[in-house]
């Protein structure tokens, strides 16, 4: 136990959440990747690959939680790098699921948007911490330009990520007390653009939309989601018909319904073999099927506790940069988790957002671990949490040094006015 306490420092609650999410991820990804395992030459290939990424992520957490938060401002350099990669990825990137979100570098595939998300959060936190030194209007414009460019180039291939990232940065600016008038005007413009976007997708003919990248995919998801809310829309002669349009949502509902209270236990899911992306986009439905309502609520509870704990860490930070940075990292993880869960229970259209630290992935898994490492670092160096052993050692040394002082040395520390009062 003493070795572990020396190895892991910072807020223990965050560590427990991280460990639980990793454990659930290993169990559920191993179960949900059965279809991939059957097609592989080696049955253990999918879970071994995922375990390697989790181990790499754990190493990232160990390194980052020992790095003082002031050095994280260097991640701003990722902003221009991510912007360049996002520009060239649609041209030279790897296509997957009708989108060019991946970029290959010497055989290593990664998503530039994931690095853009980290860069934007650090970028916003850094400039919000400069309030008082730089005028608010100038800070607002700087943030809007930087974040806007990243989201603009993410948008064509990944609308949900761009929308979520801009929303989180907007929320950070609201928490950072940017001028409400400017935030209100920005929100109004975004709402109008979003309304026009939805109306255009649902009214323009496909002959026009086919010239806009992924417009037909977005239209299909919106229409599918709206149709799934209508009563008896898929009923013929009293029989529910599963079509290509409602296939994912229907099997996700079946998985959730089969789970009941305690679930069918890991490895006993049926929908994992028929549900597309059961190990990624719809892994929360598989968790419900195997771990039941209790397991599903426990996973949701972990993310909610993470957000609450991040708020506590932010309140204890004395400086603005770590305060805004820890809030941004926490919001990014939790909002993405809530989006994934909302898709699984058919509250919102399919977005393609993985469940942070649980879904099978490479770039997303390592970057999520990076957020946890930053949060733990700020809990240590910004909020002074989880350093009880270090503090006790310093107090012991101070007590020993004080006891070894002679009376003459102690009297030299006492001001003369206090000495005169004691003599009287």
Domain residue spans of the chain: 21-178+240-385
Q: How many residues does the chain have?
A: 424
Average pLDDT for 20-41: 83
Instruction: Look at residues 251, 357, 256 and name the one whose alpha carbon lies nearest to residue 297.
Output: 256
User: What DSSP designation does 57 have?
Assistant: H
Grouping H, G, I as helix, E, B as strand and the rest as coil, residue 235 is: strand
Asked if 146 and 121 count as a contact pair (C-beta separation under 8 A), the reply is no
Which is it for the CA torsion 381, 385, 390, 393, positive or negative?
positive
Which residues, 6 or more positions from 145, have their beta carbon under 8 angstroms from its beta carbon? Answer: none
Rg of the chain (C-alpha set): 26
Q: Of 329, 357, 305, which is closest to residue 69 (Cα–Cα)?
A: 329
Q: What percent of the chain has pLDDT over 70?
A: 78
End-to-end CA distance of the chain: 54
Over range 55-61, report the average pLDDT.
Answer: 94
pLDDT at 387: 72
Q: Are 33 and 289 in contact (CB under 8 A)?
A: no
**346-371 average pLDDT score:** 87
Q: How many helices (H) and strands (E) does the chain have?
A: 18, 5
Percent helix, percent strand, percent coil in the chain, to nearest 5: 70, 5, 25
Do 165 and 151 meet the contact criterion of CB atoms below 8 Å apart? yes
Q: DSSP class of residue 163?
A: H
Q: Report pLDDT for 226.
A: 64
Return d(Cα 392, Cα 16) in angstroms, integer: 23
The pTM assigned to this predicted structure is 0.84
Q: What percent of the chain has pLDDT over 90?
A: 43
Q: Is the pLDDT of residue 406 over 90?
A: no
Confidence at residue 106, expressed as pLDDT on a 0 to 100 scale: 67
Residues 6+ apart with CB under 8 A from 415: none
State the Cα–Cα distance between residues 321 and 44, nearest whole angstrom: 43
* Token pair in block for residue 103: 């970029």
- Give 133's contacts (C-beta < 8 A, 6+ positions apart): none
Task: Determine the Cα–Cα distance for residues 95 and 214; give it in Å rounded to an integer.
Answer: 12
Mean pLDDT, residues 138-144 taken together: 94
């Amino acid at each position: 136990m003493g070795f572990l306490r020396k190895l892991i420092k910072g807020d223990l609650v965050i560590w427990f959440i991280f460990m639980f999410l990793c454990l659930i991820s290993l169990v559920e990804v191993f179960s949900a990747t059965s279809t991939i395992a059957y097609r592989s030459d080696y049955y253990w290939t999918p879970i071994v690959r995922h375990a390697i990424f989790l181990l790499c992520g754990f190493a990232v957490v160990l390194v980052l939680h020992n790095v003082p938060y002031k050095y994280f401002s260097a991640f701003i350099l990722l902003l221009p790098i991510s912007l360049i990669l996002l520009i060239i990825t649609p041209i030279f990137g790897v296509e997957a699921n009708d989108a060019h979100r991946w970029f290959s570098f010497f055989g290593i595939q990664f998503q530039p948007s994931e690095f853009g998300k980290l860069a934007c959060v650090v970028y916003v936190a850094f400039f919000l911490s400069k309030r008082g030194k730089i005028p608010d209007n100038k800070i607002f414009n700087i943030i809007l330009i930087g974040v806007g460019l990243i989201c603009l180039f993410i948008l064509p291939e990944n609308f949900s990520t761009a929308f979520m990232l801009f929303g989180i940065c907007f929320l950070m600016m609201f928490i950072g007390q940017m001028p409400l008038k400017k935030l209100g005007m920005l929100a109004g413009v975004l709402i109008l653009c979003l309304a026009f976007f939805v109306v255009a997708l649902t009214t323009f003919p496909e002959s026009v939309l086919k010239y806009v990248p992924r417009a037909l995919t977005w239209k299909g998801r919106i229409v599918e989601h709206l149709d799934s809310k209508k009563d008896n829309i898929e009923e013929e002669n009293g029989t529910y018909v599963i079509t290509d349009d409602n296939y994912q949502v229907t099997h996700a509902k079946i998985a959730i319904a089969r789970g009941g209270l305690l679930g069918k236990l890991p490895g006993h899911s049926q929908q994992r073999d028929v549900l597309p992306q059961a190990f990624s986009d719809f892994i929360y439905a598989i968790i419900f099927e195997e771990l039941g309502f209790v397991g599903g609520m426990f996973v949701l509870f972990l993310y909610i506790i993470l957000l609450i704990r991040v708020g506590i860490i932010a309140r204890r930070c004395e400086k603005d940069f770590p305060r805004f940075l820890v809030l941004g990292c926490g919001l990014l993880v939790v909002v993405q988790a809530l989006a994934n869960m909302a898709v699984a229970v058919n509250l919102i259209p399919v977005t393609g957002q993985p469940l942070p630290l649980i879904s099978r992935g490479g770039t997303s898994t390592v970057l999520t671990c990076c957020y946890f490492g930053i949060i733990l670092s700020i809990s240590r160096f910004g909020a002074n949490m989880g350093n009880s052993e270090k503090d006790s050692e310093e107090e012991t040394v101070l007590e020993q040094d004080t006891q070894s002082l002679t009376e003459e040395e102690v009297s030299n520390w006492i001001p003369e006015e206090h000495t005169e009062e004691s003599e009287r």
